[in-house]
Amino acid sequence: MDSPAAIKILSALGHDARLAVFRLLARRAPDALRPTEIAAVCGLKPNTLSAHLSRLSEAGLVTARRDGTALYYSLDRAIVAAFTGYLLNDCCRSRPDLCLPATPVKLARPFKVLFLCTGNSARSILAEAVLRAVGPDRFEAYSAGTHPSGQVNPQVVKLLARAGTATAPLRSKDLSEMQGPDAPEFDFVFTVCDHAANEECPAWPGQPVSAHWGLPDPAAVTGSDADIALAFAAAYRTLNTRIKAFAALPLETLDRLSLQSHVDRIGQTTTQEETPC
């Protein structure tokens, strides 16, 4: 990247709304978002957002793809990497004391994994329970909510009981319990709902590997008891597939870039596994 390109990017980011859009897309990377979601999260009118996305696209930071009649926007990660490299690596000649994080990533057993959602009543609870069952000697699983409901959804308790998974240690809790000097230092932080992923990220000690493993909220499904049970079963199957794939990774040997690529890819997978009964 050369100086004019970097200056164009800096100019595009020199506006609070455009910076907010950029940061949202960075939090959700590698996902692509529809303009309606971006506008809702950032509090922007559609025409105003369109102008900001156009400016970010002109600077090379944002790309758009069309799926039928819908448009989806995401970061151009190659351009973002080139830009940050130009600012840091070129300027400080790749000196590790200036360019690299002060605290290196540490991966040592048991790996501490946090699952986040908004209510911490269904999806993140399911994920915590599945990881506890899949890797009790290799992982310590936790979950929390940015706005916790205060109780585990009864459908989750029933489903886990049918699957033979322990439910006794599970409870709905606030994200604040996972922060502070006495909180665990996490190796991995996964968001499992879009609302939690869209919120500003806390500063996690040790810079854990993070990814968005979003899936539909089964608690939002209405209809017959069978419809609701099927929604919870589908969420369980998807999380079960993802978590088993994650637990199978050779975590001790992968470098951070490879590990990030793996967990991002896992977050895009669906499942063909059988529903627990």
pLDDT in tens, 139-194: 999 999 999 999 999 999 999 999 888 888 899 999 999 988 888 899 999 999 98
From the number of C-beta atoms within 10 Å of its C-beta (0-12, 13-18, 19+), residue 223 rates as exposed
pLDDT of 243 above 80: yes
SS3 string, 108-174, reads CCCEEEEEEECCCCCHHHHHHHHHHHHCCCCEEEEEEECCCCCCCCHHHHHHHHHCCCCCCCCCCCE
Rounded mean pLDDT of the chain?
87
User: What is the CATH code of the structural domain delimited by 111-266?
Assistant: 3.40.50.2300
Q: What is the pLDDT of residues 61-97, one digit of tens each?
A: 999 999 999 999 999 988 998 888 787 765 555 554 5
Fold of 3-99: Arc Repressor Mutant, subunit A (1.10.10)
Q: What is the pLDDT of residues 213-236, one digit of tens each?
A: 999 999 999 999 999 999 999 999
Query: Per DSSP, what are the bridge partners of residue 115?
Result: 143, 190
- Give the residue extent of every domain in the chain: 3-99, 111-266
- Model pTM above 0.75: no
> What pLDDT was estimated at residue 90?
56
Distance (Å, rounded) from C-alpha 248 to C-alpha 266? Answer: 11
Q: Percent of the chain scored above 70 by pLDDT?
A: 88
3-state helix, strand, coil in the chain (%, to 5): 50, 15, 40
Closest-CA residue to 22 (of 60, 69, 67)? 60
Annotated catalytic residues are: 117, 193, 201
Q: Are the C-beta atoms of residues 174 and 148 closer than 8 Å to each other?
A: yes
